[in-house]
Every structure is written in structure tokens, then in C-alpha cells.
Amino acid sequence: MNVRLLMVAAALGALAPPAAARAQTERLAGRVEARTRAAVEALVDSARAAGLPGGPLVNKALEGASKGADGARIVAAVRTLSRNLARARSALGSASAEAELVAGAAALQAGVEASFLELLRAERRREPVVVSLAVMADLVANGVPPDTAAQAVLALARVGTREAELVAFRQSVERDVALGAPAGAAASLRLNEGARQAFVDQANTFAPANRTPRKP
């Protein structure tokens, strides 16, 4: 066997699906019927070829199987998620982590415009944006209009709001909505309150700590 033949054999070996990818789709065995499994595997392969993570797609298929959904519905859901993962990567950048793409896809599915994801990434270029994206989607799930939710999270990101504060903001809106407030108004109100508090905190930071009032 000469070198050329050896190279061909090596290339064929390299083209074989990696063991980890096989392990992904093998999770579908016994959970999803054969035709659905073949369709999902094809979608996973396409996603992986495009550099997208396959794990979330397999999870979506398993979720459908666990909930007793029929094959067509499972395939449709996997296809939608694959499309949203691609959109999320396009908006957030190719260096984005899998968890960010998953959270971004959820925000997109909730109705948030891709342009908001781009703006968020521009604001937090060096930090993970998983929580910010999750809060966007959670606010929409609570009834906040997608644009309002995205603008609120973006405004909080611009002032350097930390993850825990973002979550506290979401929880405040949830509480207000549970008490009967309109979701959009609750988000705007809490955002203004947060901005006011940030202004007060900033003022306190610059104020002399031990200033005593001068007696007349």
C-alpha cells in the first residue's frame, strides 16, 4: 500500500462520525421511533456540520418523546430549535458558548428581535450573557412584550447590572404581575425604580462619608 492509499484510508477514518456525536444520537434509541429518529439525526448532523451544538437538539427530541408528542411534532420542534440556534449564533457571534446559544434561541423563540441579541453582545463582549438572555425570555413568558423585555435587559446591561440583580429585577416584575399589574407596565416601573436607585447609590458614593452638619 503506497502513501496515497494510506492518505485515503486516513481521510475515510477522519470522516467517520466522532464517538461523542454518535453517543449524542444514540440517546434517542429506544425513546424515539425509527423514522423520527432518522429525521432528528439528519437535523443533528446538519447542525453539527454547520458548527452548531447537537446536544440541545437531541434534548428537544427527548423532551417531545417524554411528553408523548408524535413524530411530526418532535421533528418540527427540533427544526425550529436548530433554526433559532443558528440565528442566535449569527447574532451573538461564532465564539459564543453553547449555553449562550441555547439561551439566545429561547429569547428568539419568545419573540425577541435578533438585533437585541447583537446589542447585548456588544455591551457584554467579555462576559457570558446566559442570564441576560434567560431573563429576557422569562419576562416575555410573564407577559412582558418582547421589545419591552429586551430593552429593559439591555438598559440594565448598559449600567453594568450584575446577574443576581437581573434576576432580582425579573422576580420583582413577576411579583407585580402576580399582584395584578400589567406586565409591560411592571417592567417599565421596575426599570425606572432601578435607575433611580442606581442614581442614589452613585450620589452616595461621591458624598463624603463622615460629613457632619456645621452648627450655625
Phi, psi torsion values for 48, nearest 5 degrees: -65, -40
Does 99 sit near other proteins (CB under 8 A)?
yes
Which 8-state DSSP code applies to residue 215? P
Does 189 sit near other proteins (CB under 8 A)?
no
Does 114 sit near other proteins (CB under 8 A)?
no
Does 27 sit near other proteins (CB under 8 A)?
yes
Does 46 sit near other proteins (CB under 8 A)?
no
Q: Which is nearer to other proteins, 141 or 189 (CB)?
A: 141
**Given 46, 80, 172, 188, the residue binding other proteins (CB under 8 A):** 80
Q: Which residues of 110-149 are buried (b: 16+ CB within 10 A; e: fewer)?
A: bebebebbebbbebeeeeebbbbbbbbbbbbebbbebebb
Give the nearest distance from C-beta 49 to other proteins in angstroms. 13
Does 24 sit near other proteins (CB under 8 A)?
yes
Does 5 sit near other proteins (CB under 8 A)?
yes
**Given 98, 113, 118, 147, the residue binding other proteins (CB under 8 A):** 98
Binding mask 127-166 for other proteins (x = CB under 8 A): xxxxx-xxx-xx-xxx-------------------xxx--
Candidate segments 150-158, 167-175, 182-190, 195-203, binder of other proteins by CB under 8 A: 167-175
Number of residues that bind other proteins (CB under 8 A): 71
Phi, psi torsion values for 60, nearest 5 degrees: -65, -40
Closest CA to 47 of 37, 38, 56: 56
Residues 6+ apart with CB under 8 A from 153: 120, 132, 135, 136, 139, 166
**Given 41, 100, 123, 176, the residue binding other proteins (CB under 8 A):** 100
Closest CA to 91 of 56, 128, 119: 119
Residues 6+ apart with CB under 8 A from 137: 103, 106, 107, 109, 110, 112
Candidate segments 58-66, 113-121, 181-189, 194-202, binder of other proteins by CB under 8 A: 58-66
Closest CA to 41 of 31, 54, 30: 54
Does 35 sit near other proteins (CB under 8 A)?
no
**Given 39, 85, 91, 106, the residue binding other proteins (CB under 8 A):** 106
**Given 46, 90, 109, 188, the residue binding other proteins (CB under 8 A):** 109
